[in-house]
Amino acid sequence: MIPLAHFMLVSAILFCIGLYAVLAKKNAIMILIGIEFMLNAAILNFVAFSKHDKIALGGQVFALFAIVLAAATVAVTLAIILNVYKYYRTIDPTKIDQLRD
Partner 1 sequence: MNEFLPHISQLIQSTLKGFSFLLQELVLVLTFILVILADLISHAKRSAWAYRICIAGIFLSTGVGFIQNSDIARVTLFDNSLILDSTSIAFKYIFSAVTILFAIFIRFHKPLQNHRKGVGDLYMLLPAVLIGLNLMSMASSLLMIYLSVEMVSIASYLMVGYASADKRQTEAAMKYALFGSICSAVMLYGMSLLYGFTGTLNIIDPVFLNRLDLISDPAVALAIVLVLVGIGFKLSFVPLHFWSPDVYEGAPTPVTAFLSTAPKIAGFAILIRFLEPFLLPAQSYKLPDLFDFRAVLSVVAIVTMILGNFSAIWQNNVKRMLAYSSIGHTGFALMALIAFEGSGFSSLIIYFIIYAIMNMAAFMLVDKVADHTGSTDIRTYKGLGKVLKVEFVCFVIVLVALTGLPPTAGFIAKLFVFSSAFEYYAASDSIWALGLLITGAVATVISLFYYLKIPLYAYLKNSEAAVAVHVKRDFLTVVIVFLTFLLILYGLFPGLLS
User: In the complex, which residues of this chain contact partner 1 (CB under 8 A)?
Assistant: 8, 11, 15, 18, 22, 28, 31-32, 35, 38-39, 41-43, 45-46, 48-49, 52-59, 61-62, 65-66, 69, 72-73, 76-77, 79-81, 83-84, 86-88, 93, 96-101
Residues with Cβ within 8 Å of residue 96, at least 6 apart in sequence: 84, 88, 90
How far apart are alpha carbons 89 and 40 in whole angstroms?
Answer: 30
CB of 83 to partner 1, least distance (A): 5
Q: Estimate to the nearest angstrom the gap between the alpha carbon of 27 and the chain centroid.
A: 15
Q: Which is nearer to partner 1, 6 or 76 (CB)?
A: 76
Cα distances (angstroms) measured from residue 22 to each of 2, 3, 33, 38, 64: 30, 30, 8, 9, 24
CB of 55 to partner 1, least distance (A): 6
CB of 2 to partner 1, least distance (A): 15
